[in-house]
Structure 1
Amino acid sequence: MDRKLPRGVTVRGNSLQLSFSYQEERFRESLRMPDTKPNIKAAELKLAAIQHDIAMGKFDYGRHFPRSKHAMRLSQSLQQSITVDQILNEWLKRVKDRTAYSTLRDYASAVTFHLIPQFGTLKIGELKAIKVEEWLSSLEISGKRKRNILIPLRQAYEDAIFDGLIEQNPMIRVRNPKHDRSEPSPFNQVEVDKILSVLTGVERNLICFAFETGLRTSELIALMWDDVDLDNRQIHIRRACVRGRIKDTKSSSGWRSVPLSSTAIEVLLSQQEQSSNEDCFVFYDPKYMKRWDSDQIIRKRVWKKAIKASGVAYRNPYQTRHTYASTLLSKGENPLKVAYQMGHKDWGMIRSVYGRWIR
């Protein structure tokens, strides 16, 4: 037989729920308490206390329901009730649908493994810029990584200001860590030949094509045969593969067409001979006979071994891209054209990174 519940107390799923009106709005809040006789009595008493506070004009949403999404908007003592981990998690929910999967993973990692362990228990009004900067200085990671970790915290506090949770944003005073841009270290032709000489088959084709086109590794492994236009000696870059997922290129300028050298065309013809008719992707992992899952696998299984076997000084795979750009510029190619082929929105990056190769 159904148990009769007090007015304003209902059951939703396995939990008791309170229903009440406040500021001409109807609210329902779960108590996360099972439907038992003692809990029903406790819920009735809590509802009575809420209604009394509302009638007396001293109801504080955040005090009664600190974890509620409505507390962010309606609490009268927000800085004393809302914690940093709450605004960070709320921010992650907000950006979920408008953020690329790989970027969202980076944000979630920064929030889960760095920001919440360090600042999560603080009330939002307790966070001080000096504490953030002291913590940053203790981290033994690059300046770029520190900047990326700060992004969720900065944006969560911007939202807190916009929502009226705080009056001052402490993150405005937190200076971005210095980002030391690494100097390009392209391979010369002798080094390129040595690297390619220790590779065979589809693995050699992959690395050779990287040197000949300047594509990012994520773009290489997402290249499909539909993107190849041999008649006009070019390929069309429309997508990238990041952490195993196919996505649009990094920016709208990433959509581009790249001309093919004779060597690049030879690579594609070789790939055609080794690919089945069912293959959509140009380059594939010979171990599993399917598209490469990520650039990390290529770096670990192909690139590192090739560099070691060739005797060439180690540089990361991104230097194939630097090699492509520096070679074109050294030959007198127009910097604007190189910027387009590299997928940059303007030639500012080319000028700042490859200036010493521009005639």
Structure 2
Amino acid sequence: MKFWDELPLGQVTPSKLRDWISALGVTPKRARNLLTPLRSVFEDALNDELIDYNPFDRIALGKLLRQTTKASDYEVDPFASKERATLLEHARADERPMLQFWFNTGLRPGELMALRWAKIDWVGRKARIDRNLVAKTEKGPKTAAGIRDVELNDEAIAALIAQKSATFLAGEHVWNNPRTSAAWETDAQIRKTLWEPLCTRSGVRYRNPYQVRHTFASALLTAGANPWYVAQQLGHVDVQLVFRVYGKFISQDYQRPQAARLRIAIEGQV
């Protein structure tokens, strides 16, 4: 943002804006994150009559970003079932319930942090997801599909039961920071204080915590789950994003049951 230091608002032209965006050399997501506060500045300036027009209104931003930004090198790299078991085995007792629940629900980090006990339907075995914590602020989902009921399997229910003694009586957030006993505030807290130390002591190759969500989707698809069901559980409108971003075949999870079935068949012939 040093490009804009001390430059008067009135001197920011569409051409200057285009040149700056073209030289960013970042992914579309990163570019939009940079542009959002800058765009807000010009909207306020226009409303306050400090400028005659908003330069953002005179550029084809979507087309420009498609032409000048680079593809993300982020890789979907889910955890195999053996790795998941190792992580849970090495998690501390006050860490394990949240991780077990996360691997079995695939929530976004912000959804996990915002989840409250009142949203748990014990009879229906579902969790109502309608809030997301972003930058210490809770808000609703970006799309209507984000408001959903996530089904809770036996592992997720067991994780909630294990967590009851820690946070249930408070009646607020299900998951808290075990080091402070306060609600999580950012996903960076989870990454730095829980996830990175856990990966180190478990010996599991490090991937960022968002891979838990990828793992949930990939594991379901590998096991043969209906893609539309997976999309609904993740909070997506359709299956395109599930296949393109989240769903990656986990060969280790697939080969194990195949080998087991083959062994049983061979033993049955002996």
Give matches, 1:1-359, under 5 Å.
Answer: 113=1, 116-117=4-5, 120=8, 123-125=11-13, 127-128=15-16, 131-133=19-21, 135-137=23-25, 141-151=26-36, 156=42, 165=52, 171-172=59-60, 175-176=64-65, 177-180=69-72, 182-275=74-167, 277-354=169-246, 357=249
Ranges in structure 2 where 5+ consecutive residues have no aligned partner: 255-270
TM-aligned CA deviation for residue 237 of structure 1: 0.5
**Residues 202 and 284 of structure 1 are in contact (CA less than 8 Å); yes or no, is this contact kept in structure 2?**
no
Post-superposition CA distance 1:312-359 (Å, at most 9, x none): 111000000000000111111111111110011221201322465499
**Residues 243 and 294 of structure 1 are in contact (CA less than 8 Å); yes or no, is this contact kept in structure 2?**
yes
TM-aligned CA deviation for residue 236 of structure 1: 0.8
Q: Aligned partners of 2:229, 2:180: CA distance in 1, in Å? A: 37
Q: Aligned partners of 1:152, 1:172: CA distance in 2, in Å? A: 18
Give the match's secondary structure for 1:221.
helix
**Residues 154 and 171 of structure 1 are in contact (CA less than 8 Å); yes or no, is this contact kept in structure 2?**
no
Q: Aligned partners of 1:118, 1:142: CA distance in 2, in Å? A: 27
Residues 129, 225 of structure 1: alpha-carbon distance in 2 compared, 3 angstrom cutoff: closer
**Aligned residue identity for 1:150:** L
Q: Aligned partners of 2:184, 2:115: CA distance in 1, in Å? A: 11
TM-aligned CA deviation for residue 118 of structure 1: 7.7
**Aligned residue identity for 1:199:** A
TM-score by length of 2: 0.77
**Residues 114 and 149 of structure 1 are in contact (CA less than 8 Å); yes or no, is this contact kept in structure 2?**
no
Q: Aligned partners of 2:113, 2:248: CA distance in 1, in Å? A: 30
Residues 236, 121 of structure 1: alpha-carbon distance in 2 compared, 3 angstrom cutoff: closer
Q: Aligned partners of 1:125, 1:198: CA distance in 2, in Å? A: 56
TM-aligned CA deviation for residue 203 of structure 1: 1.2
Give the match's secondary structure for 1:257.
strand
Q: Aligned partners of 2:128, 2:31: CA distance in 1, in Å? A: 34
Residues 118, 132 of structure 1: alpha-carbon distance in 2 compared, 3 angstrom cutoff: farther
Q: Aligned partners of 1:170, 1:347: CA distance in 2, in Å? A: 35
**Residues 119 and 128 of structure 2 are in contact (CA less than 8 Å); yes or no, is this contact kept in structure 1?**
yes
TM-aligned CA deviation for residue 135 of structure 1: 3.7
Post-superposition CA distance 1:111-162 (Å, at most 9, x none): xx4563285556144743663245424xxx54421233234556848x97xx
TM-aligned CA deviation for residue 204 of structure 1: 1.2
Higher relative contact order (CA 8 A, sep 6+): 2
Q: Aligned partners of 2:7, 2:71: CA distance in 1, in Å? A: 24
**Aligned residue identity for 1:201:** A
Indicate the structure (1 or 2) with the bigger Cα radius of gyration. 1
Residues 263, 145 of structure 1: alpha-carbon distance in 2 compared, 3 angstrom cutoff: same
Q: Aligned partners of 2:87, 2:230: CA distance in 1, in Å? A: 24
Give the match's secondary structure for 2:64.
coil
Q: Aligned partners of 1:166, 1:232: CA distance in 2, in Å? A: 54
**Aligned residue identity for 2:223:** K
Q: State the aligned residue count.
A: 241
Q: Aligned partners of 1:154, 1:207: CA distance in 2, in Å? A: 38
Q: Aligned partners of 2:14, 2:137: CA distance in 1, in Å? A: 39
Q: Alignment RMSD, CA only? A: 3.1
Q: Aligned partners of 2:11, 2:240: CA distance in 1, in Å? A: 42
**Aligned residue identity for 2:177:** D
Question: What is the identity percentage for the equivalent residue pairs of Structure 1 and Structure 2?
Answer: 34
Residues 300, 167 of structure 1: alpha-carbon distance in 2 compared, 3 angstrom cutoff: closer
